[in-house]
Amino acid sequence: SQQGEEDPQALSIQEGENATMNCSYKTSINNLQWYRQNSGRGLVHLILIRSNEREKHSGRLRVTLDTSKKSSSLLITASRAADTASYFCATYNNAGNMLTFGGGTRLMVKP
């Protein structure tokens, strides 16, 4: 089954710094998504990158995708304390009816 795995598992930075999280997956994909989860809350979709895209931006978010290495990265620029959360990558199976999440990166941004 497809599975995204993030690293690092935890990341602590100062406000204003950039945060980079990486995700690896195992099988071919049509797209890869990143979600955010505040502590104990539901997940919020951040950004989707298609397999034919190499880079995508949304506000302070930048996502890259390298299908040859089966990896993706999420960069949050100029981080804020409010960015403190867990970030997960997710991919669908071939049938497109099962979304599999990675283990997540817990990001802490210190004010």
Binding site for other proteins (CB under 8 A): 30-31, 33, 35, 37, 40-45, 48, 88, 92-93, 95-104
Nearer to other proteins, 18 or 57 (CB): 57
Nearer to other proteins, 17 or 103 (CB): 103
- Residue 47 CB, nearest approach to other proteins (Å): 9
DSSP for 15-65 reads: TTS-EEEEEE-SS--SEEEEEEE-TTS-EEEEEEEETT-SEEEETTEEEEE
- Residue 41 CB, nearest approach to other proteins (Å): 6
N- to C-terminal Cα separation, the chain: 39
